[in-house]
Amino acid sequence: MSYITAIGTANPRHRFDQVAIADFMVKAMKLDASESRKLRTIFKAAGISTRYSVLQDYGKTEDFTFFANSPDGEPFPDTAKRMALFRQQALPLSLAAVANLQGNASLKDLTCVTHLVLVSCTGMYAPGLDIELVHALGLSTSVQRTSINFMGCYAAFNALKVADAFCNADPAACVLVVCTELCSIHFQQHPSDDNILANALFADGSAALLVQAKPAGIKSLLCEAFHNDFSISGQHDMAWQIGNHGFEMMLSSYVPDVIGRGIGDLTARLLKKISLQISDISYFAIHPGGRKILEAIEAKLGLTREQNAPAYQVLADFGNMSSVTVVFVLQEIFRKVAREDNGKHILSFAFGPGLTLESMLLRIQTS
């Protein structure tokens, strides 16, 4: 068995209103009046109020520090420049998330860590962020390291499955999971529907979890079951590839429909693993890939907006931070858990390229 015993999150210091980001996008994408109205409508409908970025440019319409100040936006930052920025910014943001680990009253330091699992789909280099974290956190150089890259918004589930396997193999295992995504460094200026939608949603953040083979502190989350599947019909509706000018996201408006068609069967198969019904679930931690995705899941599973409130809150305050986002939602629930919640269940979902559907059941343990 494995238990999530602590969760920490962090964001960069630059926080922007969705309206301010729209102003930047209109100019940077060189949109005419009709395209501008379309973009602002999409931005307004996204359900996002504010987002964070390592770049201050998103709050400007001139005097940019990362993007070009020329009339045509050239030279547009290439992938090498974006990866250099990732390497500069990812470590301090990750360290901030680890520093904010909360929930485990017995956690005085990180000397207990035996494994480190690093997640990111927005930046890669070697020696990588995982090794930098080992040095910066003072972890043992013999700590076992695993990196999960380029899997997208559901990657935190894969990290938790890896941590669960380590804990099942070693009762002394203490796994530090760190998810760090700098989605905003991959802005694409071509005014395609995919780019406009991606530019309306994505943001930067980091999240850390401590996973142990035994419960610790005053509350923990037992990882009871996982189940995943993917919809072949949706494999072209969400994709992520490396281009000459950053990582390019393909995100179609059909994604909510694909998820809606698959979520019922996914949920039934997961619940069957431990003989539960949807009515047995007390809390929902759903990755807010977008407002329409949340609404599609609610319609299929018969959930109310109130039951899905943590996801809407994270979406409004932070936008979509790829793999990090569902951990923010889980933290919203975790920090409100009280002694009387002991034994209650949390159902969690996340989605990504494939089109991949991931699910997880957690049981609250309090003392």
Alpha-carbon distance of 41 to 27, in angstroms, equals 16
Given 112, 121, 153, 183, which residue is catalytic? 153
Strand intervals (E) in the chain = 3-10, 14-17, 50-53, 115-120, 144-149, 174-182, 204-212, 219-230, 238-243, 246-251, 281-286, 345-352, 356-366
- DSSP structure string for 304-361: -TTTTHHHHHHHHHH-B-GGGHHHHHHHHHHTT--GGGTT-EEEEEEEETTTEEEEEE
Residue 251 φ then ψ, to 5°: -140, 100
DSSP state of 215: -
| Catalytic residue status for 153 | yes
What is the chain's length?
A: 367
Which conformational region is residue 200 in: left (phi greater than 0), alpha (psi within -120 to 50 degrees), or beta? alpha
- Which residues form the catalytic set? 153
